Chains A and B, each alone.
Chain A
Amino acid sequence: MEEKLLLKIALVCSIAGIFLLFIFSNEIPQNEKTINNLQNNENVVLKGKIIKIDDKDDLLIAELSQYNKINVVIYKKSYLDLRVNDNIEVTGTTTEYNDKLEITADEVRLI
């Protein structure tokens, strides 16, 4: 197999990769975080599975799990019919409550 052919295939690979990255990188929100690397008072997008729901008067506290856990405070005006084991994407702000980080949700959507 000629070296020229190898180099041509390599070039096509790189261009295809850049094209693919160009299309799909927009699908990944730049502020998407994992529970491990959250800081206080930052805007985040976080995904995970609801493992526990605590229904209060005007809000819902959902415990969200990836490999670690975090509480998400969801005001009922943005209330979806959320259930345990639902996978959700939360957009919100991190706050510290009782020395623990939690997320106050601005937007919640089922995924």
Chain B
Amino acid sequence: MIEFLIFTLVGCFFGIITGITPGIHINLVAVILLAVSPYLFKYFSPVSVACLIVAMSITHTFLDFIPSIFLGAPDDETALSVLPGHKLLLRGMAYEAVRLTLIGSLFCLVITIALIPLLLKIVPWIYLTIKDYIGWILLAVVLYMIFKSGNPNKIFWSAFVFTLSGILGLITFNLGLKDPLFPLFSGMFGISMLFMSIFEKVVIPTQRVTEMIKIKKKNIGKALGASIFSGTIVSIFPGLGPAQAAVMGSQLVGRIGIYSYLILVGGINTVSMLIALVTTFTINKARNGSIAVVQQMLQSTDLKYLVVFVAVALITGGIATFLCLWLARVFATLINIINYQLLCVIIISLIISLVFYFSGFLGLLVLIISTLIGFIPPLIPVPRTQMMGCLLLPVILYFIL
């Protein structure tokens, strides 16, 4: 028990690093741990190391909105939170934006864990029932997203941005890059927005640590329900993830406003991580890189491990809540001191360096093209979610063809 607890705490520490550092993904740390596992297993049990990875992954899902909202540097799981997060940043309410994503994360953690006994029974059934139709379901969602405005000009540009992003996604996934999503999402959702902040000489107002935002309980319920439903459905299938769940969830609940939307996207990552554990122990398929490493380490689907990981997730969720609020306060204080234009330049340089380090010149090329595509939606304007075509088009083609 003590060993599990210690490894859980170490996992939380790793989760802080991956959560607040743009470009450092949990999968990277998990793979490093797998590489050194023969050495680690001489001294520690595989379950303890697996607890570390679960704790790191859960902490990461709580904290990864901080760089996304304060710095505009998202990863693939938080890309859709950048714009609403940035809106609140420009109102001096970035701390509140993080708090909203935290509400989503914490409540989705608790509710999803409470639902696990039910999920253990229905996940295999859902998988078998809709696995042959998932491509068509996604296609229907995409067509709805494109046509819902009803304005022919917007429909054209939505379809254009979706197709352009989709083609870039298809090409990028065939380039053999180490982490193809990093340059794709950083360009479309991160660097393009940071450049616009520089060009428009955006001045970040003083960030306030307040609790002014009040949301109707009904909207919180809607957001959490959509998070859990879409996060569960999407996480059962390969090639899909939190980003698609966010698109699906927001379409499900309709207009709920950016506050509730932040709760929705905040919860999805956590749901997705927990469902990856459930799919590992039910259909023997880990739908997440770090959980796949856990599966490889344990090589067992005994449910008692799942109970231990649920316990670790609960402990971690509690700790990560405190950490998230504290780190958001630190970021809110620091961003008041730092010159925002300079910060944008530093973040852009950091992302470029990381992309070059992980993916070389091809990665940089993808980053440049995705950044150029990222400029289109706000200029037309069409929703930035159309750029999710970079993931959705390859996934739809994978399932349909």
- CB of A30 within 8 Å of the partner chain: yes
In this complex, the interface size class of chain B, counting residues with CB under 8 Å from chain A, is 35 or more
Contact of A13 among B37, B41, B110, B302 (CB under 8 A): B110
Contact with A along B98-117 (1 / 0, CB 8 A): 01001100110110000000
- Min Cβ gap B304→A in Å is 5
Given known pairs A6-B106, A34-B298, the reply for A16 and B314 (CB within 8 Å) is yes
Residues of B within 8 A of A40 (CB): none
Contact of B46 among A10, A13, A37 (CB under 8 A): A37
Q: Which residue on B lies nearest to A3, using beta carbons?
A: B211
Residues of B within 8 A of A66 (CB): 299-300
Contact of B110 among A1, A9, A11, A15 (CB under 8 A): A9
A22 adjacent to B1 (CB under 8 Å): yes
- CB of B334 within 8 Å of the partner chain: no
- CB of B183 within 8 Å of the partner chain: no
Q: Which residue on A lies nearest to B2, using beta carbons?
A: A25
Provide the bound-state CA to CA distance between A21 and B4, in Å: 8
Given known pairs A6-B102, A25-B1, A66-B299, the reply for A20 and B310 (CB within 8 Å) is yes
Residues of A within 8 A of B176 (CB): none
B299 adjacent to A7 (CB under 8 Å): no
Stretch of B155-163, B315-323, B358-366 that contacts chain A: B315-323
Provide the bound-state CA to CA distance between A6 and B318, in Å: 9
Provide the bound-state CA to CA distance between A69 and B99, in Å: 48
Contact with A along B278-293 (1 / 0, CB 8 A): 0000000000000000
Contact with B along A5-49 (1 / 0, CB 8 A): 011011111111110111011111011111111010000000100
- CB of A2 within 8 Å of the partner chain: yes
- Min Cβ gap A78→B in Å is 22
Provide the bound-state CA to CA distance between A6 and B4, in Å: 25
- Min Cβ gap A18→B in Å is 6
Interface residues of A in 36-69 (CB under 8 A from B): 36-37, 39, 47, 66-68
- CB of B45 within 8 Å of the partner chain: yes
Residues of B within 8 A of A34 (CB): 46, 297-300
Interface of chain A, helix or strand or loop or mixed? helix
- Min Cβ gap B267→A in Å is 13
Given known pairs A47-B300, A67-B299, the reply for A28 and B308 (CB within 8 Å) is yes
Given known pairs A3-B99, A27-B304, A47-B302, the reply for A37 and B311 (CB within 8 Å) is no
Contact of A20 among B3, B314, B325 (CB under 8 A): B314
- Min Cβ gap A38→B in Å is 9
B308 adjacent to A17 (CB under 8 Å): no
Contact of B311 among A11, A18, A68 (CB under 8 A): A18
Residues of B within 8 A of A21 (CB): 1, 4-5, 308, 311-312, 315
- Min Cβ gap A46→B in Å is 9
Chain A interface residue count, Cβ-Cβ cutoff 8 angstroms: 37
Most chain B beta-carbon contacts within 10 A, residue among A17, A26, A28:
A17
Contact with B along A63-102 (1 / 0, CB 8 A): 0001110000000000000000000000000000000000
Provide the bound-state CA to CA distance between A9 and B302, in Å: 29
Provide the bound-state CA to CA distance between A20 and B4, in Å: 12
Provide the bound-state CA to CA distance between A12 and B314, in Å: 9
B102 adjacent to A14 (CB under 8 Å): no
Residues of B within 8 A of A31 (CB): 45
A6 adjacent to B103 (CB under 8 Å): yes
Task: Identify 7 residue pairs between A and B in the complex whose beta-carbon atoms are under 8 Å apart, listed by A's number.
Answer: A9-B106, A13-B110, A13-B318, A17-B315, A20-B314, A21-B5, A33-B41
CB within 8 Å of A: which residues of B? 1, 3-5, 37-38, 41-42, 45-47, 99, 102-103, 106-107, 109-110, 211, 215, 220, 296-300, 302, 304-305, 307-308, 310-319, 321-322, 325
Q: Which 10 A-B pairs have the closest CB atoms?
A: A14-B318, A17-B314, A17-B315, A10-B321, A20-B311, A21-B311, A37-B41, A13-B318, A66-B299, A25-B1
Further contacts, 6 of them, CB under 8 A, given A20-B314, A36-B299: A10-B318, A10-B322, A13-B314, A13-B318, A17-B316, A35-B299
